[in-house]
Amino acid sequence: MTSSLSLVAVGAVCLLTIVFGALGLRLSRATSDFYVAGRSVSPRMNASAIGGEYLSAASFLGVAGLIYDFGVDQLWLPVGYTTGYLVLLVMVAAPMRRSGAYTVPDFAEARLQSGRVRLVASTLVVAIGWIYLVPQLQGASLVLQIVADVPGWVGGTVVAIVVILAVGAGGMRSITFVQAVQYWIKLTALAVPAFVLIVLWVRAGHPAPDVPSTSWEVALTPRAEGDHPTYRVYSTLIALSLGTMGLPHVLVRYYTNPDGNAARRTTVNVLLLLGLFYLLPPIYGVLGRVHLPTMPEGVRSDSIVLRLPGVVVGGLGGDLLTAVLAAGAFAALLSTASGVAMSVAGVLDQSLMRPWVARLSGGDAGMPVGFRLAALAAVAVPYVVSRLVEPIGLATMVGLAFAVAASTFAPLLILGVWWRALSTIGAIAGLLTGAVAATAAIFASIALRPVDGWPGWTGALLSQPAAWSVPLATLVTVVVSLSTPASVPPGTTRLLVRLHTPEGVDVSRSRPDD
């Protein structure tokens, strides 16, 4: 019964995604429809859509698993996810919308007037997007294996096919509404079973969690796996706080707002929605320690959310609650994968597919052709990687994507929006430095890791590089920019005035650059 109900719930979520993708096909005609939904999405709708795509499997399943493993102090993790939007609100939300760009590479090229900067930014968007997609596809396999006992390849394949159909059908218009709906599906799917489990826990007389050590219940004590936990915690917080603004699928949503003021209102609404959602995963981590103090051999702690109803409730009731959670988990996977695939497809289309299709057709051949080929490529590559790479914890893998984003795009965007002296050469140097430092450290921490793990500070610095890679990239960007003033683009002052001037204010008489 569990398998049947869960498969029906997952199938319903997939069908919903495909139906709205087909609806987007009827509405998407112009380039702006595919890339930014015609720049007409309201703040409330956009906030729900951002919540839908941002709250991935790492939030739905991974946060509860980390709290189950390491204790209640892991609440710093969702705080870090949410803080990223506060930083984004203060630093870049409205200026990025006023830039008029479709993608992050568009903004980089407009700000620095350089095709080389655009090429580097495009490569990083694709790389970060693919890193982010891999755990979503692996998470889909985990969900279906738990609730339906199907082969590991099925879940990832289902997500890949549904995302390609939804994104390729109508681009941003296709996924905006479905992501907004999926946020509320995820919230409801976590809230209803959590309420039932809490009621049963209270009726049982508040049994205390069977914890691995007394520190599990102690708050405000930085803990993480490995040596030097304090460094690991704060490095992860830096990655989450600054990496949010560097995630391509996050920034592209701000281009769908009508203006900069709407972008700010969107971010305020996002903070409220994220705060509401993150009240729920810790409940599953704590109750998991009450009812399932030890996981069976070889079973990942990420699965605690899906296993808990069967352990606590059992019978038909447990099957129903598990099906609800399976639907929510799959909504998280689909909405996040759709957003990331959308951002990657947009860059691939602009940089590769559309020019290639145009050459083959002897002209600018219907925009959707190149975009749909790009959507296919955006999902196919991480799908293959997800089948070849051994699964890592969902929250851990997503955290690595945040570290790369924080080390590359965060310095570029903050300095690009607020610092006139940013030069083309400095921006390229900073992007390459951050990318090489973060990816090399992460590769060494995973692929070259000794059997017993990297010892001491070596392991801490390699597994959580943001605390040193972000300052390093920023320093290189500043020093090289100051050393190459001749490569500061002409017209920079006028562009910065436009980025920081509220809509409706006439800047046509602003003084040109000296």
Rg (CA), the chain: 23
Answer yes or no: are the C-beta atoms of 92 and 242 closer than 8 Å.
no
Which pLDDT band holds residue 395 (cuts at 50, 70, 90)?
low
In a domain, 119, yes or no: yes
- 133 found inside a domain: yes
Span 430-454, pLDDT tens digits: 999 999 999 998 888 777 776 666 7
Cα angle: 249, vertex 250, 256; to 5 degrees: 90
Greater confidence (358 vs 89) lies with: 89
Q: What is the DSSP string of 321-373?
A: HHHHHHHHHHHHHHHHHHHHHHHHHHHHIIIIIHHHHHHHHTS---HHHHHHH
Tell me the pLDDT of the chain averaged across its residues.
Answer: 81
pLDDT score for 1: 47
185 domain residue, yes or no: yes
Give tens-digit pLDDT for 100-146. 776 788 888 989 999 899 999 999 989 998 888 888 888 888 888 87
In-domain check, residue 514: no
Helices 152-203, 2-27: crossing angle, 10 deg rounding? 120
Q: Can you give the residue range of the structural domain that contains 404?
A: 2-387+395-500
Please give the pLDDT value at position 422: 95
Instruction: Please tell me the distance from the alpha carbon of residue 291 to that of residue 363, in angstroms, as a whole number.
Output: 64
Residue 487 has pLDDT above 90, yes or no: yes
φ, ψ of residue 454 in degrees (nearest 5): -75, 135
State the pLDDT at residue 444: 83
Which of 198-205's residues contact partners 24+ apart within 8 Å by CB, and which partners? Answer: 198/283, 198/287, 200/312, 200/313, 201/287, 201/290
Question: What pLDDT, on a 0 to 100 scale, did the predictor assign at position 170?
Answer: 58
Instruction: Report the candidate in 301, 397, 228 with the shortest Cα–Cα distance to residue 66.
Output: 301
Reported as a pLDDT band with limits 50, 70 and 90, residue 478 is very high
Average pLDDT over residues 248-258: 73
Where is pLDDT greater, at 367 or 476?
A: 476
Q: Has this prediction a pTM greater than 0.85?
A: no
Q: Identify the band that residue 30 occupies on the pLDDT scale cut at 50, 70 and 90.
A: low
Q: How far apart are CA 463 and CA 466, in angstroms?
A: 9
Please spell the DSSP secondary structure of 149-161, one letter per residue: ---HHHHHHHHHH
> Taking residues 217-223, what's their average pLDDT?
56
Q: Enter the DSSP assignment of 206.
A: -
pLDDT of res. 467? 94
Helix (H) or strand (E) holding 192: helix 152-203
CA distances in angstroms from 53 to 83, 104, 260, 334, listed in the order given: 17, 17, 21, 8
* pLDDT at residue number 24: 56
Sign of the torsion formed by the C-alpha atoms of 218, 223, 228 and 234: negative
Q: Looking at the predicted structure, is the pLDDT value of residue 392 above 70? A: no
The verdict on residue 460 lying in a domain is yes
CB atoms within 10 A of CB 497: 13
Whether the Cβ atoms of residue 226 and residue 460 lie closer than 8 Å to each other:
yes
Q: Count structural domains, the chain.
A: 1
Q: Which long-range contacts (CB under 8 A, 24 or more apart) does 499-507 make?
A: 499/95, 499/98, 499/99, 499/417, 500/95, 500/98, 501/98, 502/260, 502/261, 503/98, 503/259, 503/260, 503/261
pLDDT digits (tens, 9 = 90+) for 45-95: 888 888 888 887 778 888 888 888 877 777 777 877 788 888 887 888 778
Residue 508 lies in a domain: no
Q: Flag whether 356 is in a domain.
A: yes
What residue type is assigned to position 201 of the chain?
Answer: W
Output the domain CATH number for residue 103: 1.20.1730.10
Taking alpha carbons only, the member of 131, 55, 141, 63 closest to residue 302 is 63
Asked if 277 and 51 touch (Cβ cutoff 8 Å), the reply is yes
What sign for the dihedral angle of Cα 421, 426, 427, 431?
negative
Mean pLDDT of the 302-312 span: 87
Q: What is the mean pLDDT of residues 345-369?
A: 66
Tell how many helices (H) and how many strands (E) occur in the chain: 23, 0
Give the CB-side neighbour count of residue 222, counting CA atoms within 13 A: 12
